[in-house]
Structure 1
Amino acid sequence: MAELLNCPHCGSIFVQNSVRDVCEACYKAEQIQFETVYTYIRKRENRTATSEQVIEDTGIEKELLIKFIRTGKLKLAQFPNLGYPCAKCSTLIREGKLCGSCNSNLKGQLDTLAKEEARNQSVKSGNTFFIKR
């Protein structure tokens, strides 16, 4: 369902839909910037450019480049050195929201929590006996 929002860039009111998260004017400006970035990285000598090089050479904002990558407008398979930051530690990644290290750390914490909850549940159910010495 569409709803009225203020554009995060210019503050004007627009109807949000599943395609756009900014107003029409800002969307058109983003499309122009996308064309600039895509033209830049399509050149053979720029295909191996890093995110920082693309930002520096095109003048695009870092957040907008990340948005293009996350929404799938820029396919990372074609550009091997592009990436976006991990949500936790800001390491450059190419898929998902977390890098491998943060992901395994989070899984370890969840496993530990599950074991603690299982232990607490067994104590509450009365299956555990305590011996006084």
Structure 2
Amino acid sequence: MELKTCEECGRTFAAENGRTLCKRCFDKKIDNDFKLVRDYLYDHPGADIKEVADETGVDEAVILKLLKQDRIEVVEEANTLLRCEKCGKSIKSGRLCDDCKKMDTMKQMRDVRDQMKENLDKSQEANKNSVSYHSR
């Protein structure tokens, strides 16, 4: 990681992935890009990613990031732009389709249940092996 000077505000920051903006300015730019994209899509529903990028000046990668963050969504049913990261099914926003989200949630719940059961078993075993004294 190297120290760089932010192109926008002049602050020194630890640069990651070749960034030229500090986190504050980068986040501000993303928010401004989001507003441009949102406003364009409001006036032009159904526009594809290339059209939005060309008309707003927002990079296609940023638009994809906004889709994955659930800040915007694809409105067409025949979406080929965004796919579920697990099964490849077409999705409107985010990273996973509804089915894969449910499966992930169920898996997390099973993992928590199994961990709780394991902790309970250990606790019961420790209590069984411990000596306790009672006064009369």
Compute the TM-score of the two structures, normalised by the length of structure 1: 0.48
Flag the structure with larger Rg.
2
Compute the TM-score of the two structures, normalised by the length of structure 2: 0.48
